[in-house]
Amino acid sequence: MHNTVPVIDLRPLIAGTDPESVASRLREACSGAGFFYVSGHVVDEGLQRRLEELGRAFFAMKLDEKMKIRMGLGGRAWRGYFPVGDELTSGKPDVKEGLYFGAELAEDHPHVRAGTALHGRNLFPEELPEFRAVVLGYIEAMTRLGHLVMSGIALSLGLERTYFADGLLSDPLTLFRIFHYPPTSALAGGEPAWGVGEHTDYGVLTILKQDDVGGLQVKSKGEWITAHPIPNTFVCNIGDMLDRMTGGFYRSTPHRVRNVNPVGRLSFPFFFDPGFDAVIRPIEFAGRPAIADDAAERWDRASVHAFEGTYGEYLLAKVAKVFPDLASDV
């Protein structure tokens, strides 16, 4: 099957046998489509399978049961469940429901004591006691994979392999979501609608596990293409901050989701982002382009290259538009 989103085997990077070949393919992908699949990642398939089973079990529960861990109860940590229509993209309600998770932080963690937004404890359904261990185990596995992919991206820019791990991502902000896109038949009139509209991701790297239903679309060279599910791979894309740091050499690519199938779709995006207090600065590397104002081309008409400040400041400005009702709490 032809697919313009490349598949990159990470095994030569993991084994150290030919990291430069992986770096070369990452450079081509990040400066082109902005999206790529990774295979050979060694993330446990059993863990992935159990995560999907528990996700389906949760979304099959009655609404009042799911609302026991609604996001309003998560406070400034911004964790928990939201029902269909509560999340907005470009001011329009998404046709999806979801669960928000992040790093599990105790009450004595400095960010929690300081009341820093997006930091704290997760909310888990009591009806599914295994959920906590599986989600936290998956976040740990994705964090390791995030560092691995970013080591390849560092090499792709001619930097030391540990460039990001020693700096911007030494204490990463890790956020994890489980989304359920209802089947077409569950929507009013049976008409397909956007599960999530056109957008870019905010941080450095997104690692997405898809189920086998499909529906992800990527905007490449002005045209929308489908990123079909490929067994035992993850779909990766770069975010606004890597776009900002590379002067647009690596672009955060717009994407969207529409479920046109008669069954529900699950997706599991993991956001591997700079620390909340990390100041975003340009990266100097060979071949860095002159910065061009691309605001007119972007989905939100806002240039990431005009941003100055910490990643936390950028992120809060964005998520406040996604959940305006919760914004006053954060």
Residue-wise pLDDT for 278-312, tens only, equals 999 999 998 888 776 676 676 666 778 888 899 99
Q: How far apart are CA 235 and CA 252, in angstroms?
A: 14
* Neighbour tally for 124: CB within 10 Å: 22
Q: How confident is the model over 141-183, as pLDDT tens digits? A: 999 999 999 999 999 999 999 999 999 999 999 999 999 999 8
Assess whether pLDDT exceeds 80 at residue 321.
no
Q: Which residues of 193-212 are buried (b: 16+ CB within 10 A; e: fewer)?
A: bbbbbbbbbbbbbbbbbbbe
Considering the chain, what is the average pLDDT of its residues? 91
Q: How far apart are CA 50 and CA 277, in angstroms?
A: 34
**Which pLDDT value is given to residue 2?**
44
The pTM (predicted TM-score) of the whole model is: 0.93
Residue 8 pairs with which residues in a beta bridge? 38
Greatest CA separation for the chain: 55
Q: How far apart are CA 234 and CA 8, in angstroms?
A: 10
Q: How confident is the model over 69-92, as pLDDT tens digits? A: 999 999 889 999 999 988 888 778
**Which pLDDT value is given to residue 324?**
72
Residue carrying structure tokens 């529900």 = 264
Domain ranges of the chain: 24-323
Q: What percent of the chain has pLDDT over 90?
A: 73
**Which pLDDT value is given to residue 302?**
73
- Identify the weakest region by mean pLDDT among 6-10, 79-83, 158-162, 188-192: 188-192
Span 24-323 CATH architecture: Sandwich (2.60)
